[in-house]
Amino acid sequence: MNHTSSPGGGRALRLSQPAPRSSTMRLRAQAPWRLGHHKGVTYFIKLGDVCKGAQRYKNKVDVRDVRIPLWVEASRLKVLILGGGSVGTRRAKYFHTAGAKVRVIARDVTPELKSMGVEIKYADLNVYEPAEDIKWADIVVIAVDDQRLAEKLFRQAEALGKLINDATDATRTHVVVPYEREIAGLRVAVTSEGAAGTPARLSLDIIEGCIKESWIPVFYSVYRELKNEAKTLIKNTKTRLHFYQKLVEDEKFMKYVKEKDEKAAIKRGRELLHSILNEEKAA
Ligand SMILES: C[C@@]1(CC(=O)O)C2=NC(=C\c3[nH]c(c(CCC(=O)O)c3CC(=O)O)Cc3[nH]c(c(CC(=O)O)c3CCC(=O)O)/C=C3\N/C(=C\2)[C@@H](CCC(=O)O)[C@]3(C)CC(=O)O)/[C@H]1CCC(=O)O
Ligand SMILES: NC(=O)c1ccc[n+]([C@@H]2O[C@H](COP(=O)([O-])OP(=O)(O)OC[C@H]3O[C@@H](n4cnc5c(N)ncnc54)[C@H](O)[C@@H]3O)[C@@H](O)[C@H]2O)c1
């Protein structure tokens, strides 16, 4: 195994350097939705499709691929947090705000955690037996400031088959909470899996600048509009998929998108939509 990362605090630190200019971008018409790595940073959206430079890392495979990004509805989760200090408090806030059921076990908790409205059990984990609490949970967060205790809790939760977010040891953690941000309608999450957290966090500024200056926001807006129209007008799912494929393969359409000419792109998209509808009628 390798390195770790910690959960998406999402502090909005600004870089002093300006966002990359569009001249530094390579515009390509491939689906950007892939997992990628660039110099030790894992991207949930493949930056290589938008920015020059990340390109050569395109096919690199890494042992960190054993951890995969998933978008999970937090309200389905029961989260047990062991430790209620600064890390325990951040995790409690993160999961509780997203609608998860949160239970904390700690000797002491911060005033912020106390006032959050989550379940708290005050106990010494060197004495109290947390097996039943661990069984209750989907995810166990280890956030105690005692290495030996953390190790013991990790082994116990792992033996009970739980997913563990171990804030004390990034190399063994099962679940990483990434740095995350919404950019032009896209949710972007980045992690170094513990190797270099601050570069991972600051990279979001670069990614944001890159996406915002590119044609992705126009593509997003036009595509969303055309997708809505296709859903109303084309009843057959396969035909709709054919339409989406046609859009991205259409040179004229993609040229308008890349020129950020939203009106012309929509018009061209509708032409393609109607040609498919006519083909469907004729068949
Ligand atoms: C986002 C944030 C969320 C949060 O924690 O809530 C986060 N760390 C934050 C703060 C923070 N982290 C650390 C300090 C102490 C001071 C310092 O060292 O600077 C502080 C400051 C503080 O506590 O105030 C040190 C540290 N971090 C980890 C270890 C264990 C290890 O490395 O083994 C150690 C001990 C290292 C050692 O002992 O040397 C591990 C993780 N930390 C991650 C995220 C994940 C990887 C992210 C990535 O790499 O992409 C991962 C894997 C946890 C996971 O998610 O599984 C939060 C945002 C802060 C911000 O905005 O910058
Ligand atoms: N992942 C990260 O981002 C990150 C950041 C900072 C620190 N860390 C790691 O996480 C650990 C916790 O950091 P912190 O800043 O939250 O520490 P902290 O001192 O603020 O909190 C520690 C918590 O553990 C509880 N605890 C300790 N021993 C206990 C016991 N025997 N029984 C019950 N509860 C007990 C304390 O009551 C307290 O609530 C650190 O030791 C460090 O290894 C991780």
How remote is the CA of residue 187 from the centroid of ligand 2, in Å?
30
- Residue 189 and residue 63 share a domain: yes
**One domain, residues 86 and 125:** yes
Atom of ligand 1 nearest to the CA of 195: 49
**CATH number of the domain within which 88 lies:** 3.40.50.720
Whether residue 14 has pLDDT greater than 90: no
Q: Both 66 and 199 in a single domain?
A: yes
Closest residue CA from atom 38 of ligand 1: 168
Counting ligands in written order, the one closest to the CA of 130 is 2
ipTM: 0.91
How many Å lie between the centroid of ligand 1 and the Cα of residue 244?
41
Q: Are residues 194 and 63 in the same domain?
A: yes
**More reliable by pLDDT, 38 or 236:** 236
How many domains does one find in the chain? 3
Domain encompassing residue 261: 216-282
**63 and 188 in a common domain:** yes
Indicate which ligand has the atom closest to the C-alpha of 181. 1
Are both 63 and 184 inside the same structural domain?
Answer: yes
62 and 104 both lie in a single domain: no
Is 159 found in the same domain as 82?
yes
Tens of pLDDT, residues 206-253 = 999 999 999 999 999 999 999 999 999 999 999 999 999 999 999 999
CA-87 nearest atom, ligand 2: 16
Residues 201, 62 within the same domain = yes
**Residues 57, 152: one domain?**
no
Instruction: State the chain's maximal CA–CA distance in angstroms.
Output: 76
Note whether 29 and 158 are same-domain residues: no
Examine the domain organization and report whether 78 and 165 are in the same domain: yes
Q: Which of 3, 6, 41 to mutate to test the pocket of ligand 1 (most atoms within 8 A of CB)?
A: 6
Q: Is the CB of 167 under 6 A from ligand 2?
A: yes
**What digits encode the pLDDT tens for the residues 142-188?**
999 999 999 999 999 999 999 999 999 999 999 999 999 999 999 99
7 lines ligand 1 (CB under 6 A): yes
Q: Does ligand 2 come within 6 angstroms of the Cβ of 8? A: no
Ligand with an atom nearest the CA of residue 88: 2
Take atom 20 of ligand 2 and give the residue whose Cα is closest.
Answer: 85
Which of 154, 176, 198 finishes a domain?
Answer: 176
